[in-house]
Amino acid sequence: MIRGACHCGTITFRIEENPDFLVECNCSICRRLAAWWVHSPPNETLTLNIPEGATDVYSYGDKSLAFHRCTSCGCVTHWQSLFDSRIAVNCRLAYPKDIKGIRIRHFDGAGRWEWLD
């Protein structure tokens, strides 16, 4: 199980089953965020607690993803697709012991759009 929260604790998440890997992308925003993403965990395994009005949303470029950040502490907690049901949770906000030993895969979102490992 992976548990995490933004810095102030307003937004929390829990993923019941550990993923096979976390994703580190080098696209222009992910590189700046230094995020480790868990992409589209099954709905029955993901609990994302977001109080009403607790996030600001940022979308850029082709406007396909909405990046959510806590309005209080500014941590980017997750993104959601604006076209389908995909979501990714930022596991840099997870408790370190919960993600210890999970492999990190590197994705070239800035160039070839393929795995680098």
Domain of residue 91, CATH code: 2.170.150.70
Burial of 69 (0-12, 13-18, 19+ CB in 10 A): buried
Q: Provide the domain limits for residue 16.
A: 2-107
Going by C-alpha positions, the residue among 3, 6, 33, 1 that lies closest to residue 19 is 1
Predicted local distance difference test score (pLDDT) of residue 42 = 72
Domain count, the chain: 1
How far is the C-alpha of 85 from the C-alpha of 103, rounded, in Å?
A: 25
Mean pLDDT of 99-116: 96
The predicted-structure confidence for 56-90, as pLDDT tens digits, reads as follows 999 998 899 999 999 999 999 999 999 998 999 99
Residue at 116 is within a domain: no
Residue at 103 is within a domain: yes
pTM above 0.75, yes or no: yes
Residue at 47 is within a domain: yes
- Residue 54's identity, in one-letter code, is A
Residue at 31 is within a domain: yes
Residue at 112 is within a domain: no
* Mean confidence (pLDDT) of the chain: 95
Residue at 114 is within a domain: no
